[in-house]
Amino acid sequence: MAGDGSLRREYLGIDESGVRAMSGVLYGVGLGPGDPELMTLRAHRLIAGAEVLAYPSLAGGASFARSIAAGIIPEGAREIVMDVPMTPERAPAQAAYDKGAAEIADALEQGQDVVCLCEGDPFFYGSFMYLFARLSTRYRVEVVPGVTSVTTCAARAGMPLAARNERLTVLPGPLPEAELRARIDGAESVVIMKVGRHLAKIRGVIEELGLTGRAVYVERASLPEEVVCPLAEAPQVAPYFSMILLTKGADPWL
């Protein structure tokens, strides 16, 4: 019968978009770059009232996301830990997100809201995107934006990135050397993220382009161990949470 499908959907609590109406809500909460004081008020409220929390961690290690929110996580809250290996191969990380998504879905099916912690902003190089792709077609998902590492590094370096009609280019450090060179050469203001083990390559490209004097290195922005210095004075070894800011033109904000 024509109405059988809609009756079944109503019985299961599924709305016209296919989302379970009677399930819990998944919140993807941006925590900012590391300083707990840079969390938004909404992020703070959701975490402080959470019954179920989810977050990624380095396989076998601690979770940076959890460490940011540690002071407000309620006692007794259930914690879903996704051990994500940092390997060039995508399959192990995808398997970790598959497992985490299944555990989150189980909590949502029981009508529990789940607050997923994500450093920075969930939709800006954020790990939450992988959970969003797996769960947003079946459950209600709300994304709470966070302060990004880009804006934090610019603030800590005292370095405006773009004004008027200028363009800002954001590049990941793992890009091949030739592509980095071409993209930096054709850009006005540049942010290079995920510097880490790619620092020597990136530094070499910037030196070849004659732009070292316009570049600033920032690592662990907003944290006690923060480093901000000209690229020429940057250490030889950089952590994953490091960034290079580069502007080419005159200072248009003056």
Report the distance separating Cα 210 and Cα 99, nearest Å: 47
Confidence bin at 95 (pLDDT 50/70/90): very high
Over residues 7-21, the mean pLDDT reads 49
pTM: 0.85
Is the pLDDT assigned to residue 222 strictly greater than 60?
Answer: yes
Rounded Cα distance, 238 and 219, in Å: 8
Same domain, 174 and 82: no
Q: 98-102: long-range contacts at Cβ-Cβ below 8 A with a sequence spacing of 24 or more?
A: 98/134, 100/54, 100/56, 100/131, 101/131, 101/134, 101/135
194 and 236, same domain (yes or no): yes
* Pair 133, 27 in one domain: yes
The pLDDT of 66-86, averaged and rounded, is 94
Q: Cα separation of 20 and 144, whole Å?
A: 20
Are residues 23 and 119 both part of a single domain? yes
CATH code, domain carrying 107: 3.40.1010.10
Residues 81 and 192 occupy one common structural domain: no
User: Does pLDDT of 93 surpass 90?
Assistant: no
- The answer, yes or no, to whether residue 13 has pLDDT greater than 70, is no
In this prediction, residue 153 has a pLDDT band, given cuts at 50, 70 and 90, of: very high
Mean pLDDT of 179-206: 96
DSSP lists the bridge partners of residue 242 as 219
pLDDT at 252 over 80: no
How, if at all, do strands 168-172 and 189-193 pair? parallel
* pLDDT confidence of residue 251: 53
The whole-number pLDDT of residue 17 equals: 56
Tell me which residue range forms the domain holding 113: 17-147
User: Does the residue 83 lie in any domain?
Assistant: yes
Query: Looking at 114, 147, 180, which one is the last position of a domain?
Result: 147
Say whether pLDDT at 112 is over 90.
Answer: yes
Q: Residue 228 has which token pair? A: 């901000």
Neighbours of 93 (CB within 10 A): 19
Give the count of alpha carbons within 13 A of 60, CB side only. Answer: 2
Domain identity same for 101 and 154:
no
pLDDT at 204 over 50: yes
> What whole-number percentage of the chain has pLDDT above 70?
89
Domain count along the chain: 2
Residues 40 and 139 in one domain: yes
Kindly list the distances between the CA atom of residue 8 and the CA atoms of 1, 12, 22, 24, 172, in Å, as whole numbers in the listed order: 12, 6, 14, 20, 47
Does residue 1 lie in a domain region?
A: no
Residue 11, pLDDT > 50, answer no
Instruction: Report pLDDT digits (tens) over 32-64.
Output: 999 999 999 999 999 999 999 999 998 778 899
**CATH number of domain containing 222:** 3.30.950.10
Confidence of residue 3 (pLDDT cuts 50, 70, 90): very low
Residue 21 has a pLDDT of: 61
